[in-house]
Structure 1
Amino acid sequence: MENKTIILTGGGTAGHVSLNQAIIPELEKLGFRVEYIGSKEGIENELIRDSYPEITYHAISSGKLRRYFSMKNFTDPFRVGAGLTQALNIIRKVKPVAIFSKGGFVSVPVAMAGRLAGVPVIIHESDVTPGLANKLAIPFADHIFTVFKETMSHVPKEKSTCTGSVIRSELLDGSAASGRELCHFDNTHKVLMIMGGSQGSALINDAVRENLDTLTKQFNIIHLCGKGNIDERLEGHEQYCQFEYVTHELSHLLHLTDLVVSRAGSNSIFEFLALKKPMLLIPLSKQKSRGDQILNANLFEAQGFAHVLEEEQVNAKSFMAAIERLVAEEEQLIQAMTEAEPPKTAYEMAKLVAAHAK
């Protein structure tokens, strides 16, 4: 192949970008040139440009796939149409040998354009049931990779493969010492990390901060609280370190961490599983999502990897009780995770993608 360019797409949330971030250097090791199609204002723009500034990033027009009434629902189809035209022009110019899509609303016009241009489209679905964007894109896909074996009943089996989870290699290379330096912890308390997703969660943030005096008697706290959610009154606290969001630092912070409280996005929970971090999962409710995180969390709980606290039940008292139970059953959770199937590496995933290139 003279031209060995692969286009990656996906965005809207960090979860729709992280796998792409992981496989970019591995695809390059395999001899491919990588370019990215994302939205103009989505989080993928910032994450890809910051992580890989040398990669050509194509920003296209994109609508949002809403499950609620909004006047923008009437105008967004025109944005998607514009995005389809833009993506098609990019693909015809770049002439990629494959398109790899991680999902999110920006990926739909890219998958459609790929099919129109005769380029193999490969989709990755990391949740138990496909998201709305992937549901729309699957008819245009040549192959679908899934993380959960249960997902195979929701996708065309004849063009789908369950690969299991994929873990970024740098995540395994983190340093607890570097994490401690980032947080300036100087005692021997265990470390509790709280992650509310890239946008944060006011409900989880409030539960943590209302219990902070009690929690810090037992833990050092790493709190990833989301953009704009730093509490300046707590800056400088010796046992509480808050970040809006972290990227490269996450591997170090996770290696320092003993226990995790998190949403239940697939990428994150499989990373905790790979690092054997006992987790309390607080999935997004059905009122705020399509319920995919609830399915993810329940499957992990059934396998003994996690405890689950439903969002509707979260308050200062229930949160503290769930933490106490997590501490009490820490060893049982670690043992169950030790017996789990090991994840694939980003290099293995890149090879699977490359196998479907034309």
Structure 2
Amino acid sequence: MSNYKFILSGGGTGGHIYPAIAIANELKSRYPDAEFLFVGASDRMEMDKVPQAGYTIEGLWISGIQRKLTLKNLMFPLKLITSLLRSRKIIKTFKPNVVIGTGGFASGPLLQMATSKGVPCLIQEQNSFPGITNKLLGKKVDTICVAYDGLDKFFPKEKLKLTGNPIRKDLLAVKGKHIEGKDVFKLIHSKHTLLVLGGSLGARRINELVEANLTFFENQNVQLIWQCGKLYYDRYKQYNDLKHVQVHAFLNNMDMAYAAADVIISRAGAISVSELCIVGKPTIFIPSPNVAEDHQTKNALAVAEKNAAVLIKESDLDNDFQNEFTALITNEEKQSELSKNIETLALVNATSDIVDEVEKLLKK
């Protein structure tokens, strides 16, 4: 049988959406006749990104709980009940063989209903410190695919499979496309290219850093592909007027952006770290300090300690950034060393290994 039906649920940020799309693509390559349905939060970016990848998506009226008392929090019980009922209807109508969750608000009600109906379920946890949705689901699902050791602190040990994080296949082909990438972005070949990534929504502190250093970058013969995030685009789009700067709300052709880059500045979310290990470019990590258990710093430290990236904490940026950046951009040997070392950390078969686990559930 190859006309299986799969539901994939996850979203809110690219870190949850792209793993789900990567898993779907791998399943589709193995089962071309299979049917796929994505379930996301109706007002989040997955409603745009999933159809762009060629898949159908249903939206749930769901959001997370705010840390302070707000009207949104008062609405949460109603949203949750509505989403559970909608999820039950989706599962009853679509009749999936397996449901896969990659984190984010929408995957909670969907997988809750799937497990209660006896549908085999798998979750994929990208981080070294799991989010609340996956922690709650871990007790109920059949399989938990993880990217880090030591997650038996949060999940039943017998369900854990160390696979790594799913990566978009186009990133495996970035090598050797440096000139092509620069041409796609109409960049000057004789200049260094800095790719700045603050995540799909943007990173305020990284954007402020870049803005403050635009003249410094120009003096270093550096041109920028600056993904500032959709929340910040209106503020920073004025810098598109500068010859050495390209400001983007979001990068749809991320593979070519990676290919064009000589050096990358990035947050240290789990998917970003996994992608950067595969891309193998010299990277400066500036982890967000505003995440659970400071897991971005832990992610970045795991790479930096192996001399595979540069780590600068937000609190040290004013003192250290220009010196660290100059030391990297002017030293090709250091760039080469970081590239070589970060590549050794890549788990290139993660997507395939996760789908192997999905296939085991098909046989249950």
Quick one: distance in 1 between partners of 2:139 and 2:243? 53
The corresponding residue for 2:16 is 16
Matched, 1:227 2:230: yes
The corresponding residue for 1:323 is 325
1:318 partner amino acid: D
Quick one: distance in 2 between partners of 1:183 and 1:209? 20
Q: How far is 1:117 from its partner? A: 1.1
Give matches, 1:11-50, under 5 Å. 11-31=11-31, 32-50=34-52
Matched, 1:274 2:278: yes
SS at match of 1:96: coil
Matched, 1:263 2:250: no
The corresponding residue for 2:244 is 239
Q: What is the identity percentage for the equivalent residue pairs of Structure 1 and Structure 2?
A: 25
| CA displacement 1:53-82 (0-9 Å, x = unmatched) | xx3311112131333443322321221121
The corresponding residue for 1:354 is 359
SS at match of 1:167: coil
Quick one: distance in 2 between partners of 1:275 and 1:4? 33
Quick one: distance in 2 between partners of 1:203 and 1:342? 30
Matched, 1:310 2:313: yes
Q: Could you say if the C-alpha distance between residues 226 and 269 of structure 1 is closer, same or farther in structure 2, counting changes exceeding 3 Å?
A: same
The gaps in structure 2 that reach 5 residues or longer are none
Report the TM-score, using the length of structure 2 for normalisation. Answer: 0.90
Quick one: distance in 2 between partners of 1:120 and 1:228? 37
Q: Could you say if the C-alpha distance between residues 100 and 236 of structure 1 is closer, same or farther in structure 2, counting changes exceeding 3 Å?
A: same
The corresponding residue for 2:106 is 106
Q: How far is 1:211 from its partner? A: 1.1
Give matches, 1:66-81, under 5 Å. 66-81=66-81
Quick one: distance in 2 between partners of 1:341 and 1:204? 25
Of 59-68 and 19-28, more deviation after overlay is shown by 59-68
Quick one: distance in 2 between partners of 1:269 and 1:188? 28
Q: Could you say if the C-alpha distance between residues 186 and 331 of structure 1 is closer, same or farther in structure 2, counting changes exceeding 3 Å?
A: closer
Quote the RMSD (CA, aligned, Å).
2.0
Quick one: distance in 1 between partners of 2:169 and 2:47? 22
Displaced runs of 4 or more, over 4 A: none
The corresponding residue for 2:87 is 87
Alignment equivalent of 1:179, drawn from 178, 181, 189: 181
Report the TM-score, using the length of structure 1 for normalisation. Answer: 0.92
| CA displacement 1:260-300 (0-9 Å, x = unmatched) | 111111111111111211211111113x5552212211222
Quick one: distance in 2 between partners of 1:177 and 1:325? 24
The corresponding residue for 1:344 is 349
Query: Do 2:23 and 2:166's aligned partners in 1 also have CA atoms closer than 8 Å?
Result: no
Of 164-173 and 207-216, more deviation after overlay is shown by 164-173
Quick one: distance in 2 between partners of 1:2 and 1:333? 43
Q: How far is 1:98 from its partner? A: 0.5
Query: Do 1:277 and 1:334's aligned partners in 2 also have CA atoms closer than 8 Å?
Result: yes
The gaps in structure 1 that reach 5 residues or longer are none
Query: Do 1:280 and 1:326's aligned partners in 2 also have CA atoms closer than 8 Å?
Result: no
Quick one: distance in 2 between partners of 1:304 and 1:356? 39
Q: How far is 1:2 from its partner? A: 7.4
SS at match of 1:139: coil
SS at match of 1:148: coil
Alignment equivalent of 1:298, drawn from 291, 296, 301: 301
Quick one: distance in 2 between partners of 1:173 and 1:343? 12
